[in-house]
């Protein structure tokens, strides 16, 4: 399936969304931002989709950044609007009620790292390089890089990556908490899809509750987060999946979750 500048492929309950601008190292221009936002909306609305995998076309790049040729002609007001456009798209993936896995197959720079950080999990090839090089263009990260780096890797790492603009290799990214796993490049797709399949067989309502709790908890006090967690815990007791999961445990069999 072709949608704007994306390739979309459904593999059972897993939707693979590939940014497909290999001639531009999958750079994010306005059309690609809009296509990604629409793809996130479609994945959220499709009950057959339980997990989303996001990646880039070609062997070189996940997403090498925002489209510099487009950005270079923007006015200050247009620049702010462009940043907000990118932020809204990335927030949409971050708030998707289904797990989103970034399969980082190469360069994830600038807007590419920002896109990867908006996903819930990140698996990187050992050849990947990640960074926020905007300082070298006289720019500030605009798609959420300063804020998500701060939350994922901490103040010191966020300052280092943004102030120097120097990318880090996959091993350092793992140390900083920017990625969850690093695997040999030849095994990246297999490892990512194995994780996606595992999540796709989990209880969808519980997955959604976990995503909600952790994301909300990062934006509120611990007291508010604990109250929210207790509410989500109580809500799943109304689900058939909770009954199925507990019965399967007691009967020593594998559960079959239906998302109800």
Contact 40, 86 (CB under 8 A): no
Rounded CA separation 177/148 (Å): 11
- Characterize 54-93 residue by residue with b for buried, 16 or more Cβ atoms within 10 angstroms of its Cβ, and e for exposed: bbbbbeebbbbbbbeebbeeeeeeeeeebbebbbebbebb
Catalytic: which of 114, 219, 229, 240? 114
In the chain, alpha helices (H): 30-45, 68-71, 76-94, 111-118, 145-153, 155-164, 170-176, 188-200, 204-217, 222-235, 240-250
How many Cα atoms are found within 13 Å in the side-chain-facing hemisphere of 61? 22
Q: Which of 179, 25, 2 is nearest to 107 (CA)?
A: 25
Task: Provide the 8-state DSSP code for 56.
Answer: E
Rounded CA separation 232/252 (Å): 26
**Residue 160 among the catalytic residues:** no
97: phi then psi, degrees, rounded to nearest 5: -80, 20
**Residue 219 among the catalytic residues:** no
Residues in the chain: 260
Catalytic: which of 134, 160, 191, 227? 134
The residues that are catalytic are 114, 134
């Amino acid at each position: 399936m072709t949608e704007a500048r994306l390739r979309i492929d459904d593999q059972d309950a897993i939707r693979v969304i590939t940014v497909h601008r290999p001639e531009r190292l999958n750079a994010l221009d306005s059309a690609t931002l809009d296509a990604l936002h629409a793809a996130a909306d479609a994945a959220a609305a499709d009950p057959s989709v339980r997990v989303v995998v996001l990646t880039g076309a070609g062997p070189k790049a996940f997403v090498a950044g925002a489209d510099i040729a487009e950005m270079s002609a923007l006015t200050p007001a247009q620049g702010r609007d462009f940043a907000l456009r990118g932020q809204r798209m990335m927030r949409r993936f971050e708030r998707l009620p289904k797990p989103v896995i970034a399969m980082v197959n190469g360069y994830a720079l600038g807007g590419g790292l920002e896109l990867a950080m908006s996903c819930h999990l990140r698996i990187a090839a050992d050849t990947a390089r990640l960074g926020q090089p905007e300082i070298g263009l006289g720019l500030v990260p605009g798609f959420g890089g300063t804020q998500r780096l701060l939350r994922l890797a901490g103040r010191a790492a966020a300052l280092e990556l943004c102030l120097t603009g120097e990318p880090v290799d996959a091993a350092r990214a793992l140390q900083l908490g920017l990625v969850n796993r690093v695997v040999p490049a030849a095994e990246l797709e297999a490892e990512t899809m194995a994780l996606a399949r595992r999540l796709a067989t989990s209880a969808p309502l519980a997955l959604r509750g976990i995503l909600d709790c952790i994301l909300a908890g990062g934006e509120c006090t611990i007291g508010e987060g604990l109250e929210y967690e207790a509410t989500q815990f109580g809500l799943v007791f109304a689900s058939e999946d909770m009954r199925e999961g507990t019965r399967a445990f007691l009967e020593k069999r594998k559960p079959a979750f239906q998302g109800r």
